[in-house]
Amino acid sequence: MAKQILRCTVNDEDVEVLVPPYQTLLDALREELGLTGPKEGCGTGDCGACSVHVDGKLVASCLMLALQARGRTVKTIEGLAKDDVLHPLQEAFVRLGVPQCGFCIPGVLMAAAALLADNPRPTESEIRYGIAGNLCRCTGYTKMLDAITEAAGTVAGGT
């Protein structure tokens, strides 16, 4: 099948790339644009490792075709830190020792960032459900909860 042109905004930059019509957004980001932060953990939308934001909404990029992102704004984990300054969520994840193997972390951070954008002061239960679409096998989620709670305080306190 002939490739088609995908024009969209990725991490605040306009991009133009040729993609096959069957290619997922995840594969286009990883294979065509070199953004390998989003991971494929299952390819069926069950694990959340491929989570990105499309027009500010949390999306499993393995379930979306790349061409569905035409004209839209995509943000990946690579776009979460601004000018090498870590996002408060990223800073808290590092300081509280959340990452172990690290494979789920980009997806969890994107889910948490989407949660805090909608709900700057979530309850514990809201955080738990906010990242319930993200499987992690190393951490048991406890330190993640601590880090998101701390970062939520920082984000909310700063605004």
Q: Please give the residue ranges that form the binding site for other proteins (CB under 8 A).
A: 20, 22, 30-31, 34-44, 46-47, 49, 76-78, 80-81, 86, 90, 93-106, 109, 127-129, 131-145
Closest to other proteins by CB, 116 vs 134, is: 134
Within 13 A of 12's CA, how many CA atoms are on the CB side? 7
Nearest approach in angstroms of CB 149 to other proteins is 10
Please tell me the distance from the alpha carbon of residue 59 to that of residue 40, in angstroms, as a whole number: 13
89 closest CA partner among 9, 158, 12 = 158
Please tell me the distance from the alpha carbon of residue 16 to that of residue 112, in angstroms, as a whole number: 29
Nearest approach in angstroms of CB 11 to other proteins is 11
C-alpha R_g of the chain: 16
Closest to other proteins by CB, 6 vs 35, is: 35
Q: If you search the block for the tokens 């299952």, which residue do you land on? A: 42
What the block records as the tokens of 14 is: 């306009």
Nearest approach in angstroms of CB 123 to other proteins is 13
**β partners of residue 6:** 17
Closest to other proteins by CB, 71 vs 105, is: 105
End-to-end Cα spacing for the chain: 49
Nearest approach in angstroms of CB 127 to other proteins is 7
Nearest approach in angstroms of CB 85 to other proteins is 11
Closest to other proteins by CB, 53 vs 71, is: 53
Please tell me the distance from the alpha carbon of residue 47 to that of residue 28, in angstroms, as a whole number: 19
Closest to other proteins by CB, 69 vs 110, is: 110
In one letter, which amino acid is 8? C
